[in-house]
């Protein structure tokens, strides 16, 4: 079975789906690895390194799609809404596509992929279970985003992060607030602490308190209780507007006292809740920075502009997206390891396993046999129930 790795085509994307390190693992497992010329260059992986490890380099993107049984990408058509459509005519019936698909973005795009007869798997949907931990690409990329977010915010802040005793006296440390203590938020806390900032964090899930404190952060407790704060996958649940209004009132003081606010409150499949209002931004000190990791889904800050950096009331608001691409070497390495584990799980004795009783396969399978095959995705888009049949 041939695994193909095309060069990422999304503007500014520097990561690559597989790195040379995993090629021997895949070849030992019986796969042949095909890499488009230059696919890994921007991530720090030249063609020669792939060839040394046993991969075959092909000159054109079309060659990858024509020969590969499995195509592995970072941003597949679906999550790549700029140039991804160009891949559609290259896809062929029976081919397997694995990568970030943004399964709750557009039903039309998923139906286009299904219409090509492609069996696609969305890595965003890998369950957060012990059994699937080695395949959890979403958590890997969130780790990179949390780390990079702090560095970008620190670079824009006109203050030093750590407390310093100097010839000019003592410099007080910067104050960082992280809203949303998921994987990205926890990594942001750890990174801000390592840089010497006084770090606080808030999350509506009570279970997050212990995790924040274990990293040396102060957990902000608000006298407002969320109903069913998290779902069975450990993600925060959306709350009603009454809850968010009260939450914003109570968070206002903490936000105003912070030099940097990093927001990472994302609810899968839904618009990001607004947690930082225009009034809160107006109350922050000039030179303060808000970095909104939820910008792709509208943002947690009322003034965020997706993909842009703006200054409002003297506060810099960063709405940049695709932060993981800013650390392409290790982001690609982590992603490749996750995908290698996933591919080895999917393919046994040269055959694709589509056992719908298996949670990992059932949850990640998006399109198969010409249809959107994922029940959760179908429910999200209010599509009719599928006829009961076994996948093959």
Residues acting as catalytic residues = 128, 133, 136, 139, 235
Backbone angles phi, psi at 320, to 5 degrees: -60, 150
- Map the chain to HEC letters: CEEEECCCCCCCCCCCCCCHHHHHHHHHCCCEEEEECCCCHHHCCCHHHHHHCCCEEECCHHHHHHHCCEEEEEECECCECCCHHHHHHHCCCCCEEEEECCCCCCHHHHHHHHHCCCEEEEHHHCCCCCCCHHHCHHHHHHHHHHHHHHHHHHHHCCCCCCCEEECCEEECCCEEEEECCCHHHHHHHHHHHHCCCEEEEECCCCCHHHHHHHCCCEECCCCCCCCCCECCCCCECCCCHHHHHHHHHHHHHHHHCCCEEEECCCCCCCCCCCCECHHHHHHCCCCCEEEECCHHHCCCECCCCCCCEEEECCEEEECCCCHHHHCHHHHHHHHHHHHHHHHHHHEECCEECCCCCCHHHHHHEEEECCEECCHHHHHHCCCCCCCCCCCC
Using CA atoms, how far apart are residues 262 and 276, in angstroms rounded to an integer?
10
85 Cβ neighbours under 8 A, 6+ residues apart: 77
Residue 307's Cβ-count burial label (10 Å; 0-12, 13-18, 19+) is: exposed
**Which two tokens mark 282?**
């107006």
Q: Identify any residues that bridge with 58 across adjacent strands, giving them in sequence order.
A: 36
Unique residue bearing structure tokens 């225009």? 278
């Amino acid at each position: 079975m041939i695994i193909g790795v095309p060069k990422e085509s999304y503007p500014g994307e520097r990561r690559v789906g597989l790195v040379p390190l995993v090629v021997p693992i895949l070849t030992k497992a019986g796969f042949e690895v095909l890499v488009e010329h230059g696919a890994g260059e921007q991530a720090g992986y030249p063609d020669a390194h792939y060839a040394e490890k046993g991969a075959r380099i092909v000159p054109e993107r079309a060659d990858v799609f024509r020969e590969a049984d499995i195509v592995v990408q970072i941003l597949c058509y679906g999550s790549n809404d700029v140039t991804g459509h160009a891949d559609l005519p290259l896809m062929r019936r029976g081919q397997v596509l694995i990568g970030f698909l943004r399964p709750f973005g557009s039903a039309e795009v998923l139906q286009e992929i299904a219409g090509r007869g492609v069996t696609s798997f969305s890595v965003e949907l890998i369950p957060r279970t012990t059994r699937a931990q080695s395949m959890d690409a979403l958590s890997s990329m969130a780790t990179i985003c949390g780390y990079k977010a702090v560095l970008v915010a620190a670079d824009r802040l006109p203050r030093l992060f750590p407390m310093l005793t100097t010839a000019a006296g003592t410099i007080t440390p910067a104050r960082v607030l992280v809203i949303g203590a998921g994987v990205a938020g926890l990594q942001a806390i750890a990174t801000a602490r390592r840089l010497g900032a006084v770090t606080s964090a808030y999350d509506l899930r009570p279970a997050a308190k212990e995790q924040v404190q274990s990293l040396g952060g102060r957990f902000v407790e608000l006298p407002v209780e969320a109903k069913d704060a998290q779902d069975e996958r450990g993600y925060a649940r959306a709350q009603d507007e009454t809850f968010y209004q009260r939450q914003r009132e109570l968070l206002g003081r903490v936000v105003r006292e912070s030099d940097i606010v990093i927001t990472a409150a994302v609810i899968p499949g839904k618009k990001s809740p607004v947690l930082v209002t225009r009034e809160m931004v107006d109350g922050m000190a000039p030179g303060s920075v808000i970095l909104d990791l939820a910008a792709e889904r509208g943002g947690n800050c009322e003034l965020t502009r997706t993909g842009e950096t703006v200054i409002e009331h003297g506060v810099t608001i960063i709405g940049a997206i695709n932060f993981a691409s800013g650390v392409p070497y290790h982001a690609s390495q982590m992603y490749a390891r996750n995908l290698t584990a996933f591919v080895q799980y999917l393919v046994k004795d040269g055959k694709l396993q589509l056992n719908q009783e298996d949670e990992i396969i059932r949850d990640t399978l998006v399109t198969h046999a010409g249809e959107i095959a994922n029940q959760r995705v179908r429910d999200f888009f209010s599509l009719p129930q599928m006829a009961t049949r076994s996948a093959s």
